[in-house]
Amino acid sequence: MLYPNLRHLEIFLSLCESGTVTKTAQRLNITQPAVSKAISSLEEMIQIRLFERRRNRLHLTANGRQIRDEAERLLNQVNAFGTEIEALQTARRGSVSILAIPSLAAGAVARAVGDFSVSHPGIHVRFGLAMSHEVSGMVAQNRVDVGLVHGSSGLPGLQETFVAETHVQCLMAATHPLAQRGALGPADLVHYPLISFDAVAPLSAQIRESFTREGLRPTIRAEINAALLAIQAVREEMIAFVDPFSIDPGPDLVLRPFQPRIALAIHIVTPLNKTPSLPVAAFCETVRHAIFRAVTRRDASG
| Statement: residue 155 has pLDDT above 60 | yes
Question: Which one, of 264, 291, 245, 294, lies nearest residue 167 by Cα?
Answer: 264
| pLDDT higher at 10 or 202 | 10
215 burial level (CB within 10 Å; 0-12, 13-18, 19+): exposed
In angstroms, the CA 252 to CA 269 distance is 36
In angstroms, the CA 99 to CA 287 distance is 12
Superfamily of domain 169-261: Periplasmic binding protein-like II (3.40.190.10)
pLDDT-based confidence at residue 128 (cuts at 50, 70, 90): very high
Q: Which residues pair with 158 in a beta bridge?
A: 271
**Arithmetic mean of pLDDT, 14-30:** 89
Domain(s) labelled CATH 3.40.190.10 in the chain stretch across 94-165+265-301, 169-261
Determine which helix (DSSP H) or strand (DSSP E) holds 220, and give its type and residue range.
strand 219-223
218-273 pLDDT, tens per residue? 999 998 877 777 888 888 899 999 988 777 788 899 999 999 999 888 999 999 88
State the pairing for strand pair 146-150/57-60: unpaired
Helix pair 6-18, 62-90: axis angle to 10 deg: 120
Q: What's the order of all strands across the beta sheet hosting 263-271?
A: 123-129, 94-100, 146-150, 263-271, 158-167
pTM: 0.62
- What is the 3-state composition of the chain as percent helix, strand, coil, each rounded to the nearest 5? 45, 25, 30
Q: Which residues pair with 169 in a beta bridge?
A: 242, 257
The CATH code for residues 6-90 is 1.10.10.10
Domain(s) labelled CATH 1.10.10.10 in the chain stretch across 6-90
22 burial level (CB within 10 Å; 0-12, 13-18, 19+): exposed
Q: What's the order of all strands across the beta sheet hosting 169-173?
A: 219-223, 193-196, 239-242, 169-173, 253-257
- The predicted structure's pLDDT at residue 173: 94
Backbone angles phi, psi at 217, to 5 degrees: -130, 115
| Statement: residue 90 has pLDDT above 80 | no
Determine which helix (DSSP H) or strand (DSSP E) holds 13, and give its type and residue range.
helix 6-18
| Statement: residue 88 has pLDDT above 60 | no
Q: Which residues pair with 257 in a beta bridge?
A: 169
Out of 3.40.1350.10, 3.30.360.10, 3.40.190.10, 3.30.450.20, the CATH code matching 94-165+265-301 is: 3.40.190.10
| Statement: residue 205 has pLDDT above 80 | yes
When the pLDDT of each residue in the chain is averaged and rounded to a whole number, the result is 87
